[in-house]
Structure 1
């Protein structure tokens, strides 16, 4: 296990020096306690401001992205439901899911690179796009035909592209390697709260069926879109800038300097002009670390996307009414939230990632196997969704933190986090097309695909850990034959990987 060194609090020895030239150990101790107390306060301040702001942003994004599954379940099989009212073809729902992710994936990295340039402050960049996304979300409830729905969802994908990757990038720039892992869990669990509450909202909004001449599924889109627009105002007002120029209401100058120094001690100098920042963009784009961790995330996200998009439909087909099915999804998401908190917290405390990811994948496998063999009893198949949730959702924040901990430099972080979120979400192209309506309720293609990608994910994580161990051994061998100056330059570009 690679050890992450925390920055040692700086003690002003001149202030602690006595008149006879000796050191006042009491003064040194008091100064050390004051510095540690300051570090705790600054950590709490970031936890209470940055993580909730980024988390609420992600909650609404995830809610707006996944509410189409709840909207479909509200009127499944009804001529006034989503599919019936818009005269969607048999594969129309799948296409509506896929078209969102085409611009979403393509725009992730360019959007994060624009954010990294800092020409537009993060609060305007993220808050403005969130407002546009909310307006488009409302438009989903106003479209009159299937083509209009596809056009709106394509635009939603384009405007949402920068938001989840930008939020994860902001968290990466504010926390040390070790502290980041648990914050990614908090952040990601905000996202899980989106579909959790979406089921509850869908249940409540169904009562608005026919109000104002609109079907219930239309009100679901309109109300959730209005919520997004409303929250975007607070993102514009309160989202912090990057650490080195954080607003004074958030961090005082000496607090800002202290956080920046801690971040540099953890990740290395990430200011413009450092050796790692001068790496050309093409070299960042082909970096093996980014693609290895992204493939692990991709395999995991196949399950996450399947649970998100099809669990309401599957629950309806298990015999529950569409109304009850909305509520039945809530415990599934709640189990994922609890598991994510617990597993990520333990992983962060022991500073290990691989065993926890592999253990989570085993739970994921159990869920897919139950679905694939098609146990007839509805309760057993419902339990399988819990195994999939508990196994899937702890992996995602740990993988985000793992990639972040193994990258150095703002350019690497901007591209790496965007690539993981962007390409990782390509899993939605798969999950959106393998659950074939004609195969209901067995969905052999969908369940087999999910099972295969879960197995592939297990081998990718295992192979990735082994590769990091080998790379660390080669690094230590190379350093042993270098001079001090060469070693310092080498350590700026090549650091010890964390496992």
Structure 2
């Protein structure tokens, strides 16, 4: 196993031109790789093995996480508020109690995962197993207070999943490769939410089996699925690239080489990290603001779309069924956008388009078009814009931050504080304002407009910083931004 100290001291792989051989230190020895047709087949094999080992299991974990997160909205239609004698704002309290702990524990979780002694399989397997167990417990709670407690404990564990998976995945892929893989990961959550609607529709017919209400079966069945997948994660989830066991020495050496060619030798230790500079990096906070604003759309769709659909005139079962295509359309758009943004090599045009689409959807909902079909279509616009933008914002920030510890903190801050918009969504859709929800729709529209301006500011500042680095390079001056977090690597921001 390549120790962290050894990895940090690796110099750029040497290339002997007369023999066309790459030499890369790996596991205490130098591995030589010929740079001929063999390299191309080796590259394809390495990518394929990484895809097979990483993407399916991480997608399954995130899918079940969203099943457990979104099932509260579906279970609401089956009457848990009445059974638990909850107050009028009890549903909102159940939502924000989850996101309170969810937000608090995202950054500590990623910091712990980046620690060299913490193995990703143990960390991810543990948190998924635990929040699945707590989800099952929700099915047996007898009071509103018990539900609030379960949701808060769930948030403690689930908060670490998305940033941890994004960090692990980002360590295996180059910029051009990461986008579509991360889009598959985020789309699995949308598919999970769609699947949750279908399960809720089917489980409604289990009402009374073994004397258990249908809404309780939702929590029990979906929680057991998470427990099973968490157990599998202990075995399947790999370590970071230098510690991976599913690659041969030659494959691992080539993977580390091609990552180093793009990134330089990234820092992997928390020693000598300038924490103040890293935490207060303007790139993190502008991206986080944009993420926060667009997440208002995603959070509202997740928590309130079944309720809004029922108020359009459908039954509980019909409302759950009609929520499914909203998520599936969002997943389709997210995947295809990831493919195109990878091809063109820029992020911001797609992000701006997503914000505009969501703004149109919020505006339609706010003016309360009397036609139910138009309001239903507006939900698609709100969701499509959000699900287009959210994965790209994570990719965009990941592309413009170097060093594993810095990326760990940046990703956790972005997703953690960005997801805190769920507090807003949980409290602005006031039960007494149904079905018009003026406070909720005005807030959604205003935040989405603010997010659009944050994106425009981010583009301006990234372009200015790139220009400054170009100027210093032309003048022969040393540029700290060029080498920050890498050894001898030319760096430019991705727009």
- The partner residue of 1:390 within 384, 389, 398 is 384
User: Does the 8 Å CA contact 1:205/1:220 hold for their aligned counterparts?
Assistant: yes
Q: What is the DSSP-based 3-state SS (H/G/I as helix, E as strand, rest coil) of the residue aligned with 1:174?
A: coil
- The partner residue of 2:429 within 424, 435, 454 is 435
TM-score (norm. length: structure 1): 0.90
Q: What is the DSSP-based 3-state SS (H/G/I as helix, E as strand, rest coil) of the residue aligned with 2:449?
A: helix
Whether 2:56 is the aligned partner of 1:65: answer no
Whether 2:350 is the aligned partner of 1:356: answer yes
Counterparts of residues 255-266 of structure 1 (less than 5 Å):
255-266=251-262
User: Does the 8 Å CA contact 2:110/2:164 hold for their aligned counterparts?
Assistant: yes
Whether 2:54 is the aligned partner of 1:50: answer yes
Answer with 387-396 or 404-413: which moved more: 387-396
Change (3 A) 1:284 1:16: closer
Distance 2:111 2:13 in 1: 33
Counterparts of residues 201-240 of structure 1 (less than 5 Å):
201-240=199-238
User: Does the 8 Å CA contact 1:202/1:326 hold for their aligned counterparts?
Assistant: yes
Q: CA deviation at 1:401?
A: 0.7
TM-score (norm. length: structure 2): 0.91
Q: What is the DSSP-based 3-state SS (H/G/I as helix, E as strand, rest coil) of the residue aligned with 2:36?
A: helix
Whether 2:325 is the aligned partner of 1:334: answer no
**Paired residue total:** 467
| Aligned position for 2:130 | 132
Q: CA RMSD in A?
A: 1.8
Q: CA deviation at 1:14?
A: 4.6
User: Does the 8 Å CA contact 1:277/1:410 hold for their aligned counterparts?
Assistant: no
| Aligned position for 1:23 | none
Whether 2:45 is the aligned partner of 1:41: answer yes
User: Does the 8 Å CA contact 1:311/1:329 hold for their aligned counterparts?
Assistant: yes
| Aligned position for 1:296 | 290
User: Does the 8 Å CA contact 2:469/2:481 hold for their aligned counterparts?
Assistant: no
Q: Is there any run of 5+ residues in structure 2 with no aligned partner, and where?
A: 1-11, 22-33, 485-489
Show CA shifts across 1:397-435 (max 9, x none).
Answer: 111110110010011111011111111110100000000
Show CA shifts across 1:443-484 (max 9, x none).
Answer: 00000110111111111111110110011111222233335x
Q: CA deviation at 1:372?
A: 0.4
User: Does the 8 Å CA contact 2:268/2:405 hold for their aligned counterparts?
Assistant: no
User: Does the 8 Å CA contact 2:358/2:382 hold for their aligned counterparts?
Assistant: yes
Change (3 A) 1:482 1:433: same
Whether 2:477 is the aligned partner of 1:492: answer no
Q: CA deviation at 1:187?
A: 0.7
| Aligned position for 1:480 | 474
Q: Is there any run of 5+ residues in structure 1 with no aligned partner, and where?
A: 1-7, 18-29, 75-80
User: Does the 8 Å CA contact 2:203/2:218 hold for their aligned counterparts?
Assistant: yes
Distance 2:397 2:182 in 1: 11
Q: CA deviation at 1:349?
A: 0.5
User: Does the 8 Å CA contact 1:9/1:36 hold for their aligned counterparts?
Assistant: no
User: Does the 8 Å CA contact 2:399/2:494 hold for their aligned counterparts?
Assistant: yes
| Aligned position for 2:458 | 464
- The partner residue of 1:365 within 359, 362, 367 is 359
Distance 1:239 1:258 in 2: 21
